């Protein structure tokens, strides 16, 4: 009888240790933003790395087609507007992608920022972006390098990934990486 009780206690002890190990692992493994599947309709999830600090941004994202109002030609552009709902109205970040043709569609492709050395020659073909987030200071960041990958594009939705390096006037940099699923800007009443 003593042998069977000892065997039962050992099994119970192993079971309790297994449960404790499972629970502790569940709490030890940190939550990493963006681990979920793709963002919902009209949403983005982007991680920012700046000066060793990682921040997570999410919120509404919209797209629109417009004419460029600078340079020699008013060539069409595709605009992405990422809204930061935690800060003042108008804060967030956005990207402008030059288009070819009629300017009313964007295709599945990788759109890259042209390096500073080549910008003068091909300024109309480079992705331009900015970040105005107020992260303790009022600093504006502009694209330095990186790309936007468009994975799906229809009239009602454009989804893809952002992988950009932005810098401010003082040379500080910010890395933005994440996903978006943008809706048309004209589908929003109060932008």
Res 91 pLDDT > 60: yes
Pick from 147, 178, 186, 167: nearest CA to 84: 178
Query: What are 26's two structure tokens?
Result: 């569940």
Using DSSP's 3-state secondary structure scheme, residue 23 falls into helix
- pLDDT higher for 39 or 87? 39
Q: Which alpha helices (H) appear in the chain, and where do they start and end? A: 2-28
Handedness of CA 189, 83, 161, 149 (dihedral sign): positive
- pLDDT higher for 27 or 29? 27
Element (H, E) at 102: none
Res 108 pLDDT > 70: yes
Predicted confidence at residue 121, as pLDDT, reads 44
Res 182 pLDDT > 60: yes
Predicted confidence at residue 119, as pLDDT, reads 47
* pTM check: above 0.95: no
Q: What are 11-17's contacts with CB under 8 Å, separation 24+?
A: none
Would you give the end-to-end CA distance of the chain in angstroms? 76
Res 164 pLDDT > 70: yes
Tell me the mean pLDDT in the region 113-140. Answer: 67
Task: Please tell me the distance from the alpha carbon of residue 38 to that of residue 159, in angstroms, as a whole number.
Answer: 9
Burial letters 136-146, b for 16+ CB under 10 A, else e: eeebebebbbb
Burial letters 73-87, b for 16+ CB under 10 A, else e: eebbbbbbbbbbeee
- pLDDT higher for 120 or 163? 163
Tell me the mean pLDDT in the region 123-135. Answer: 73
Predicted confidence at residue 159, as pLDDT, reads 95
- pLDDT higher for 86 or 182? 182
Element (H, E) at 97: strand 92-98
């Amino acid at each position: 009888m003593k042998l069977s009780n000892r065997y039962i206690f050992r099994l119970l002890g192993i079971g309790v240790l297994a449960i404790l190990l499972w629970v502790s692992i569940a709490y030890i493994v940190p939550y990493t933003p963006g681990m979920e599947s793709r963002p919902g309709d009209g949403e983005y999830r982007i991680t920012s790395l700046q000066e060793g600090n990682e921040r997570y941004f999410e919120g509404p994202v919209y797209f629109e087609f417009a004419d460029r109002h600078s340079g020699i030609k008013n060539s069409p552009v595709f605009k992405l507007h990422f809204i930061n709902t935690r800060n003042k109205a108008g804060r967030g970040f956005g990207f402008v992608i030059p288009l070819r043709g009629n300017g009313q569609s964007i295709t599945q492709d990788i759109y890259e920022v042209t390096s500073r050395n080549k910008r003068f020659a091909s300024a109309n073909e480079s992705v331009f972006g900015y970040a105005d987030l107020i992260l303790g200071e009022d600093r504006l960041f502009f694209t330095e390098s990186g790309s936007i990958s468009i994975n799906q594009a229809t009239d009602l939705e454009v989804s893809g990934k952002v992988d950009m390096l932005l810098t401010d006037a003082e040379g500080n940099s910010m890395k933005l990486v994440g996903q978006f699923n943008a809706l048309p800007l004209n589908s929003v009443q109060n932008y």
